[in-house]
Amino acid sequence: MPYFIDLDQHQIVVLPPGRLGGPDLVPVDTDLATELALSHGQGLTNDQITALREANATKFRFASSAPGTPSGTTSPAATAPATDPRSEITRRAFAVASVVEAAGWILLVLSVIAGWIIATSTRTNPFDGSTDHPYVGAGLATIVVGAVQALMIVMVATYIKSRTERPAS
């Protein structure tokens, strides 16, 4: 795979074989790129770009270990965290699934509390003062149905999260 330096974005670009880079893309020696384990979207500092253009692996490693460039100018791409290989819609789906999973657990807790309140509610007979629990069945049904619904929501959200999680590096 051909490796290039994108001078506008200060990052590595990997293009399919046979595809030529544009005027802002500077080719990088493939053996050097493999030795340095460069990856698509990897941010670069000005010193790292200079080292790659000179095909100097030692200078690149030194520039990578330094906190910044000697001139004090570090590109925004170099200070940014590693790029996320997932698409925007995948990242959003993961975030929404996380919120829905939390809502499912909250629904589970609330359904158990509501069912308990319903099941333990009493009715007092005004004539003789006796009490009874007429809503035990409804309370237990609320607990069971609410728990099943909440766990189904959690299961679906967990499945979506597992399908959209960030791959291990």
Q: Which two tokens stand for residue 145?
A: 């149905």
Coil vs helix vs strand at 110: helix
Q: Which amino acid is at 94?
A: F
Listed in sequence order, the residues at least 6 apart from 105 whose beta carbon sits closer than 8 Å to its beta carbon are 150, 154
Last residue of a domain, one of 79, 107, 133: 79
Confidence of residue 75 (pLDDT cuts 50, 70, 90): very low
Higher-confidence residue: 89 or 115?
Answer: 115
Contact 41, 5 (CB under 8 A): no
Asked whether residue 92 falls in the same domain as residue 159, the answer is yes
- What does the mean pLDDT of the chain come to? 83
In a domain, 32, yes or no: yes
* 43 beta partners: 11
Coil vs helix vs strand at 8: coil
> pTM for this structure?
0.49
In a domain, 169, yes or no: no
Asked whether residue 38 falls in the same domain as residue 10, the answer is yes
Higher-confidence residue: 54 or 20?
Answer: 54
Contact 27, 21 (CB under 8 A): yes
Say yes or no to pLDDT of 82 above 50: yes
Residue-wise pLDDT for 103-131, tens only, equals 999 999 999 999 999 999 998 888 888 88
Asked whether residue 118 falls in the same domain as residue 69, the answer is no
Last residue of a domain, one of 40, 55, 79: 79
- What is the rounded average pLDDT of the residues 27-46? 84
Listed in sequence order, the residues at least 6 apart from 161 whose beta carbon sits closer than 8 Å to its beta carbon are 94, 97, 98, 101
Task: State the pLDDT at residue 60.
Answer: 86
Asked whether residue 32 falls in the same domain as residue 97, the answer is no
Residue-wise pLDDT for 48-69, tens only, equals 888 888 888 888 888 887 655 4
Name the residue among 8, 19, 60 with its Cα closest to residue 37.
Answer: 60
Domain with 159 in it? 88-164
In a domain, 56, yes or no: yes
Residue-wise pLDDT for 138-165, tens only, equals 999 999 999 999 999 999 999 999 998 8
Say yes or no to pLDDT of 80 above 50: no
Question: CA-based angle 78:82:87, to the nearest 5?
Answer: 125
**DSSP, res 86:** S
Other beta carbons within 10 angstroms of residue 97's beta carbon come to 20
Task: State the pLDDT at residue 35.
Answer: 85
Confidence of residue 70 (pLDDT cuts 50, 70, 90): very low
Contact 41, 22 (CB under 8 A): no
Task: State the pLDDT at residue 67.
Answer: 59
Number of domains comprising the chain: 2
Q: Which amino acid is at 13?
A: V
Residue with tokens 């959200």: 157
